[in-house]
Copies of this chain bind each other. A is one copy, B any other.
């Protein structure tokens, strides 16, 4: 099945539309200002989605990986690593864990990078470039390798050797760059080499790649498929909010196509040491910058947020939760007792649920994003 994508649309003003190609990698050029950058999203010919596409048993009969959902994704031009299809494990009555460590590079990021590397192939880019200190970079490197494209990863000077090995294993060129230089250097590399950027290029707010979050919609599709219904709430570890938005959008599409009454309430679970989305919601702004204190949740300790998160919480009647490292450690231990060894950041979903206490009506899903092997305190310095 081929993609039904019809074009790109501004989140700043949905009436502002762009062709599908090229992907807008710096957000919306029309609505963005010096203060706020608005992302774009992908629109589809929803009236052409096959009847019964999300009906029980239909997905299982289709090929695995993003191909399973190809009509509602941007064109899949890069080869598959069989991303997604992760299990929904029961944790207790009415509570499920979506174990994203079961992806090709053992994190949710593979859902995004199959899409963004496909965009790189689609525009005929000579390579891929990404700024990342971990999962995102390794995932991009893996998909680039499989597509036969060179990949450059800008990572932090203090990246531990095992993360280095993880990146280099896939043949990526790894450059250690101080945090403040990473985005300017990324932009410079993109201009000089024509490499396709698969991480954020803007500083006014996070916009990331216009196609990327579409890959996270498959989390919503799979949850619906496994439960046979929509859950009441989903708790999502949140950094820049790309996954949060993708999960919301996937559920919104399901409702739009008649597979449910109401989008589940989404809870963005950010580290209490930072929390740009919580700040944006509190201040009623499209995106916020915040200082980030000490936290071991290195995968989601972002100083800058993006408008996608605000949209996802508003449209799902959700909320931003701030979880402490202590709450994260408690949730990680609880997941491990259930047989799931998660990265500390990955336990943010369950930590958020536990913070709200027993009052949350089920079924509830907590997304666990990555493997315990990724944690920095376990990796050689």
Contacts and interface: CB of A to CB of B under 8 A. Distances in A.
Interface in A11-69: 57, 60-61, 64-65
Interface string A342-381: 0000000000000000000000000000011110001110
Contact of A81 (B85, B138, B339, B373): B339
Interface stretch (A159-167, A187-195, A294-302): A159-167
Nearest to A90: B79
A238 to B, nearest CB: 23
Interface stretch (A96-104, A247-255, A274-282): A96-104
A105 B339 CA distance: 8
A87 B64 contact: yes
Contact of A166 (B80, B85, B142, B372): B372
A170 B339 CA distance: 6
Contacts of A102: 82, 102-104
A151 B64 CA distance: 35
A343 to B, nearest CB: 11
Nearest to A104: B339
B65 A87 contact: yes
Interface residues of A, number: 44
A150 to B, nearest CB: 12
Given A106-B101, A379-B380, A380-B378, A339 B142 contact: yes
Contacts of A61: 57, 60-61
Contact of A372 (B145, B169, B380): B169
Contacts of A64: 87
Contact of A341 (B57, B166, B336): B166
B87 A379 contact: no
Contact of A170 (B138, B341, B373): B341
A338 interface: yes
A271 B51 CA distance: 53
Given A81-B340, A106-B371, A142-B339, 14 more contacts: A60-B60, A64-B87, A65-B87, A81-B87, A82-B89, A101-B106, A102-B104, A104-B340, A106-B373, A145-B339, A166-B341, A170-B336, A170-B339, A378-B380
